[in-house]
Structure 1
Amino acid sequence: MEKEFQTSEKFGIKNNCFKVKTVTTWIEEAKSRPIPKMLFSELWFENELCILFSDTNLGKSALAIQIANSISKGFNVDGFKLEIPPQKVLYFDFELSDKQLEKRYSNNFQDHYEFNSNFLRAEINPEQETPDEFKTFEEFLCNSIEQTMIIENVKILIIDNLTYLKNDTEKAKDALQLMKLLNNLKRKYALSILVLAHTPKRDATKPISKNDLSGSKMLMNFCDSCFAIGESFRENGLRYLKQIKQRNTEQIYDTHNVIICKIENPSNFLQFNFIGYENEFEHLKQFTQTNTDDRLTKILELKSEGMTNTKIAEILRCSEGTIRHILKNQ
């Protein structure tokens, strides 16, 4: 430790937030730590703070429970990779009541799905008031997450969803505070955290991007990875998963290679069933020939954003010449 702060002490600086070592030393020390393993293919690794976002009613909670169930039992979701043995998972559920949960994982409240005892669920205790030592309910809530994690001795957390932890994640200040808190917990206890979040109403003709996440700038800066669920307009119940940010791998599931799934409940377990890989543009909302007014509006909007004719044509799935012709006649 003295060696690390030698330069600072030389100049009379007693407290310093930096640790300075040679790059070789950093790498040598890193060699002693295990390589992060996949929890849900390349979309979520161990020791990552990961965000899963989508519009409402697209199955975020169903997918998160499916992932948690997979980890707790130690078997992979079909079509995805899992590289760790069975482990405890703590799921903070701010969305479903216990009765809603029962309905989703039963056959009309009969023949209930059997979860593993490694899968723990927590929900808000409505009788608990905020203690005086906490300034806000959010502060109390975050402290309770840490205490519950310690008591249950869990290393994998899923939080459903982000909007419950803060009143307005679109405010940079609140988003920053929240992500700092979760990052501190991750580093302090070597946690793997999956946080669910909503997207504001988005343009369904455009590919999903990091800008579709509420409070996107701050949240993206402080998470390790992020992926999204998109709705396919080609077929009812069809969904796709798209990689938005990654640190432990290259981007694999981009616009040209999204993961296609069908959300189904064959008996007593609502789940994403893997189908394959396709181009995102095949699943976006399309303009029809009879919808020329809407298409013109969209072209003018995209042009005002500074997009080239080629890029607009790619988004609207038509030729660059068509875009040029429409703009020329305005």
Structure 2
Amino acid sequence: METGEKNDNIRERPFNVIAAIGAELDSQRQQAENIPAQSGMFSVKTANLTIQEAANRPNPVPLWLTLWYQGEVCCLFADSNLGKSIYAVQIAAAIAEERKVLYFDFELSDKQFQLRYTNEATGQCHRFPDDLYRVEIARDCLCPQDDFENALIMEIEQLSVKMECKTLIIDNLSYLCMTSEKGEDAGRLMSRLMELKRKYGLSILILAHTPKRQLNMPITQNDLAGSKKLYNFFDSVFAIGKSAKDENLRYIKQLKVRYGNFEYGSNNVIVCAIEKADDFLRFVTLGHAAESAHLKEITEEERGRMRNEARTLHSQGMSYRAIGEKLGISKTTVERYCKQ
């Protein structure tokens, strides 16, 4: 579901003459008042000039629903074996109907990929759009072991420039940064990606893991594996959860939005099933529901056990927040258990 134009062209926005005149007048006033347009690493503009200049640039185009927009560094995360690579390839194939896409596959071998998209009965292989390119690390490549992550990002940059491709999907985050749980390393990684985004106008979707999570708890930003700094850097974030009511169902939840509408939050997650239609493995949308309808209900016995464990941990000096993270319940619930 892609609304862009071929070769990354975007819908033209009518030139706003009034905004252009206003921008010129505000720029002249700023110069007359000896306010610098740039000071060191900072660009300085009035709020009005900022808006007027931006008004004559095109609005971001949604690449996939309202979950990922053109010009964003976006994150899709999920627990292992929930189908995030399947969903990412589905997204890539839809976008490649309109524009070139580089899918960096650091998860599957070419044979595994082929089997996933082959009709088992007939042997017929799926035909993807010609503008979808799958990229993997060459077997005979001599990768530098001392600075692998830096070399990998440089190679991604060079390939996207060489192929004139501005839409990238990277599967997955651990290959970009082996130590993404460390705040300093995560910060450097995201700074590099944001630099590439601004320099070339890239749109980047990065897949990431979440640790094993309690099925009775809603998905939150804390479920993204690694440093919380990563979440803060991403322009948009969405996740795949497993339904506790039916192991064959998945739901897609929107967690962070900068453009467009916040459509698929906890009250309106997208409910899906993974199905293979002939030769194409994909997520099939069944409808929408509240996330709570797909969470595991806690029995009184389980609640009593957690209450006792929370009290024990609190008596040992553990904070409410730390107890909540350990038990998979909210800080407020822990506090209530301990004060009862």
Q: In the alignment, residue 40 of structure 1 is paired with which amino acid?
A: W
> TM (normalized to structure 2)?
0.79
Equivalent-residue separation in structure 1 for 2:227 and 2:240 (angstroms): 16
Matched, 1:104 2:128: no
Equivalent-residue separation in structure 2 for 1:272 and 1:299 (angstroms): 38
Residues 143-184 of structure 1, C-alpha deviations (whole Å, 9 max, x = no match): 000001011110100000001111121111111111111111
Cα pair distance change 1:190/1:199, threshold 3 Å: same
Cα pair distance change 1:301/1:240, threshold 3 Å: farther
Query: Contact 1:210–1:216 (CA<8 Å) still a contact in 2?
Result: no
Query: Contact 1:43–1:246 (CA<8 Å) still a contact in 2?
Result: yes
Matched, 1:90 2:102: yes
Query: Contact 1:89–1:118 (CA<8 Å) still a contact in 2?
Result: yes
Matched, 1:157 2:168: yes
Cα pair distance change 1:23/1:238, threshold 3 Å: same
Equivalent-residue separation in structure 2 for 1:200 and 1:104 (angstroms): 25
Query: Contact 2:166–2:201 (CA<8 Å) still a contact in 1?
Result: yes
Query: Contact 2:101–2:168 (CA<8 Å) still a contact in 1?
Result: yes
Q: In the alignment, residue 117 of structure 1 is paired with which amino acid?
A: D
Cα pair distance change 1:24/1:15, threshold 3 Å: closer
Q: Which deviates more from structure 2 when the two are superposed, residues 213-222 or residues 61-70?
A: 213-222
Equivalent-residue separation in structure 2 for 1:283 and 1:35 (angstroms): 35
Query: Contact 1:8–1:16 (CA<8 Å) still a contact in 2?
Result: no
1:178-257 superposed matches below 5 A: 178-257=189-268
Q: SS at 1:28's partner residue?
A: helix
Q: SS at 1:262's partner residue?
A: strand
State the Cα distance separating 1:251 from its structure 2 match: 2.3
Q: SS at 1:193's partner residue?
A: strand
Query: Contact 2:310–2:337 (CA<8 Å) still a contact in 1?
Result: no
Number of matched residues? 295
Aligned equivalent of 1:76: none
Matched, 1:140 2:151: yes
Query: Contact 2:101–2:133 (CA<8 Å) still a contact in 1?
Result: yes
Matched, 1:45 2:66: no
Residues 48-101 of structure 1, C-alpha deviations (whole Å, 9 max, x = no match): 11000000000010000000000112xxxxxxxxxxxx0000000000000000
Equivalent-residue separation in structure 1 for 2:299 and 2:272 (angstroms): 25
Q: SS at 1:270's partner residue?
A: strand
Q: SS at 1:265's partner residue?
A: strand
Aligned equivalent of 2:132: 119
Equivalent-residue separation in structure 2 for 1:157 and 1:6 (angstroms): 42
1:261-276 superposed matches below 5 A: 261-276=272-287
Equivalent-residue separation in structure 2 for 1:222 and 1:65 (angstroms): 24
State the Cα distance separating 1:327 from its structure 2 match: 8.0
Equivalent-residue separation in structure 1 for 2:297 and 2:72 (angstroms): 36
Equivalent-residue separation in structure 2 for 1:21 and 1:173 (angstroms): 31
Equivalent-residue separation in structure 2 for 1:7 and 1:44 (angstroms): 37
Q: In the alignment, residue 217 of structure 1 is paired with which amino acid?
A: K
Equivalent-residue separation in structure 2 for 1:16 and 1:327 (angstroms): 53
State the Cα distance separating 1:119 from its structure 2 match: 0.2
Q: In the alignment, residue 50 of structure 1 is paired with which amino acid?
A: C
State the Cα distance separating 1:300 from its structure 2 match: 5.1
Equivalent-residue separation in structure 1 for 2:161 and 2:337 (angstroms): 63
Q: Percent identity?
A: 45
Q: Which runs of 5+ in 2 are unaligned?
A: 1-26, 322-328
Specify which of 79, 91, 98 is matched with residue 67 of structure 1.
91
Q: In the alignment, residue 160 of structure 1 is paired with which amino acid?
A: D
Q: SS at 1:296's partner residue?
A: helix
Q: In the alignment, residue 202 of structure 1 is paired with which amino acid?
A: R
Residues 24-71 of structure 1, C-alpha deviations (whole Å, 9 max, x = no match): 111111012111111111111111110000000000100000000001
Cα pair distance change 1:258/1:8, threshold 3 Å: same
Q: Which runs of 5+ in 1 are unaligned?
A: 74-85, 308-314
Matched, 1:298 2:306: yes
State the Cα distance separating 1:298 from its structure 2 match: 3.0
